[in-house]
Structure formats: structure tokens, C-alpha cells
């Protein structure tokens, strides 16, 4: 054996007297459509929970990616941003972007990572966006079994889109923490969703101008409590 060889003790460490640590919370952030602001919401939520962010499938690499945007807006360190599993060049539905890149997405390979902090997972587009010609993202969410926050617009069309999305989630037995509205105030839509949704309307994140880490944190903490998403004592 050379002098530089290290021999590791492979005996299991004793856990006698230790309290097993519960796994950190895992929350999926998805939306009723694309472009509704779920990346901004995910950044605010990751900051609120002092969590870890993961965008498993990124379609479109020009400019700032969603992971880069969350890193900037959350103000968290780079180690809180997990690497994407698939980074696709074309800004399109993942199934089409993958085909144009000559890449085959394997939905079964998407497994939830273990983290020491709450894990915030952002989907791509809406709930039923195809990952392949045969698989939808919502089917991966169902396999994961992690609770979902459904982001929805406040504007015209949101009633239909939100209720349809909730129906799709519930048909597959996916737990839903609630609906997060994003955009300008629309009192009747907010009131109607509150009355017709089978899950809570968690609050409304307003349109922010300018959108900065400071303005996002202030708006988020003014609207959403940590206890809406995880147990108050959970870290």
C-alpha cells in the first residue's frame, strides 16, 4: 500500500440515541399556462422558505434561464440552485425542444433529489405540457406525490384555466396546497375562485415594477406566510 493511500472506515456509524431527521419539504410550483410568472413566484417562495430550487427541464437557453433568474431574485447562494437534468436550446414545449436538439427525455429518470432545505421544483409551462410524445409533466408530478402550488393569472380567462387545472390535478390524486394568483388586482376573479375552488386561494403576488430581489421579498412576505407551505417549525 502506498503512503498516499487512504483507508476509509466502512463500518456504519452508530445512530443510537439520535432522532431521525424528517426529510425536508418538497413543493412543486406549476401554472395554468406558460408565462404567468411562476418563476418569479418560485424565487419568492425559495427565499421565504430558505430553500433549494430545481428546474429539472429548461427549454430555451438564450438570455437568462429560469434557474439564473431565481438565483438573482432570491438572493440565495449558488449551492441552493440545483442543476437542470435537461437543458434544451429551443424555447418551446419540452417534447419539441428535445426533438430539435436531438435529445431524448426520459421522464422516469426525473427523481426528486434529497436536500437539507425545502425543495422548490418548478415545472415547464402548464400542467399538461408534453415531455415526450407519450408523457405529460403532470404524470411525473403524480409519481412524485409532492404537494403542488398552482400559479394562476388574475386576468380574463383565469377562472376556466384554474378550475380545469385543479380538476386535472385532483383526478390524478395530486395534493394541492392552494392557488397563488399573480398579477393586478381583479376582485371578482379572486372572490369567484375563492368560492369555487376546492383548495385555498393562498394570496396574490402583484405585478412588480421594478422587479428586484428587495421588491419581491417585500411583496412576498407581505402576502404569504411560511405556514401556508410548510409547518412553522420546519427548516
Does 55 qualify as catalytic in the annotation? yes
Q: Count other C-beta atoms under 10 Å from residue 63's C-beta.
A: 8
- Residue 47 sits at φ, ψ, to 5 deg, of -65, -45
Please give the full DSSP string across 68-85, using - where no structure is assigned: HHHHHHH---GGGBPPPS
Selecting among 26, 38, 47, 55, the annotated active-site residue is 55
Cell numbers describing residue 188? 371578482
Sign of CA dihedral 58, 68, 81, 51: negative
Enumerate the β-bridge partners of residue 119.
26, 52
Residues known to be catalytic? 55
Amino acid at each position: 500500500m502506498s503512503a498516499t493511500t487512504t483507508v476509509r472506515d466502512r463500518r456504519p456509524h452508530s445512530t443510537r440515541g439520535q432522532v431521525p431527521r424528517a426529510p425536508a419539504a418538497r413543493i412543486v410550483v406549476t401554472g395554468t399556462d406558460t408565462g404567468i410568472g411562476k418563476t418569479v413566484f418560485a424565487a419568492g417562495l425559495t427565499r421565504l422558505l430558505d430553500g433549494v430550487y430545481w428546474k429539472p427541464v429548461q427549454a430555451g437557453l438564450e438570455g437568462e434561464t429560469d434557474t439564473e433568474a431565481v438565483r438573482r431574485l432570491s438572493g440565495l447562494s449558488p449551492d441552493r440552485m440545483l442543476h437542470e437534468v435537461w437543458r434544451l436550446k429551443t424555447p418551446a414545449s419540452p417534447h419539441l425542444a428535445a426533438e430539435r436538439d436531438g435529445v431524448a427525455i426520459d421522464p422516469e429518470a426525473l427523481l426528486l433529489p434529497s436536500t437539507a432545505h425545502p425543495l422548490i421544483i418548478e415545472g415547464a409551462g402548464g400542467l399538461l405540457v408534453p415531455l415526450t410524445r407519450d408523457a405529460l409533466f403532470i404524470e411525473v408530478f403524480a409519481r412524485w406525490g409532492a404537494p403542488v402550488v398552482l400559479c394562476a393569472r388574475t386576468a380574463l380567462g383565469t377562472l376556466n384555466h384554474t378550475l380545469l387545472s385543479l380538476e386535472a390535478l385532483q383526478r390524478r390524486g395530486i395534493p394541492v396546497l392552494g392557488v397563488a394568483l399573480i398579477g393586478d388586482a381583479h376582485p371578482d376573479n379572486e372572490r369567484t375562485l375563492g368560492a369555487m375552488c376546492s383548495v385555498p386561494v393562498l394570496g396574490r403576488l402583484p405585478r412588480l415594477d421594478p422587479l428586484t430581489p428587495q421588491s419581491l421579498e417585500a411583496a412576498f412576505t407581505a402576502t404569504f406566510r411560511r405556514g401556508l407551505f410548510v409547518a412553522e417549525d420546519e427548516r
